[in-house]
Amino acid sequence: DGGITQSPKYLFRKEGQNVTLSCEQNLNHDAMYWYRQDPGQGLRLIYYSQIVNDFQKGDIAEGYSVSREKKESFPLTVTSAQKNPTAFYLCASRQGPESGNTIYFGEGSWLTVV
């Protein structure tokens, strides 16, 4: 099936640890995104990548890092510098402009600091 796969679905992090959330897509989309969602809130952009080996900071990039070594993969690392990482993380990828730039989302990953 075509789509976006995020893993793990649930992740617990101890204070001071870095954790990495995986995002893989087989839609052949160039652009990929990471959003953070806090309970009852909208989405805030963390990082985005328009092409392999290139990525840009979003609105709340501090404490996060990404890489884009392959078109299909856009992992997000939540570092110990992120002081309040407990949230729901959503990865997305985008069709090209000929399709209106519709974004497709994964099922999300819940991160909890313990």
Partner 1 sequence: SQQGEEDPQALSIQEGENATMNCSYKTSINNLQWYRQNSGRGLVHLILIRSNEREKHSGRLRVTLDTSKKSSSLLITASRAADTASYFCATAGGGAGNMLTFGGGTRLMVKP
| Interface residues toward partner 1, by CB under 8 A | 4, 6, 31, 33, 35, 40-43, 45, 48, 50, 56, 58-59, 88, 90, 92, 94, 97, 100-108, 110
Nearest to 61 by CA among 39, 22, 88, 33: 33
Among residues 5 and 79, whose Cβ is nearest to partner 1?
5
Q: Are the CB atoms for 88 and 108 separated by under 8 Å?
A: yes
**Phi first, then psi: what are they for 98, rounded to 5°?**
-65, -20
Least distance from partner 1 to the Cβ atom of residue 103, Å? 6
Among residues 16 and 97, whose Cβ is nearest to partner 1?
97
Among residues 13 and 44, whose Cβ is nearest to partner 1?
44
- C-alpha to C-alpha distance for 11 and 110, rounded to whole angstroms: 6
Least distance from partner 1 to the Cβ atom of residue 80, Å? 26
Q: Are the CB atoms for 48 and 28 separated by under 8 Å?
A: no
Nearest to 6 by CA among 17, 98, 38, 20: 20
Least distance from partner 1 to the Cβ atom of residue 33, Å? 7
Among residues 63 and 88, whose Cβ is nearest to partner 1?
88
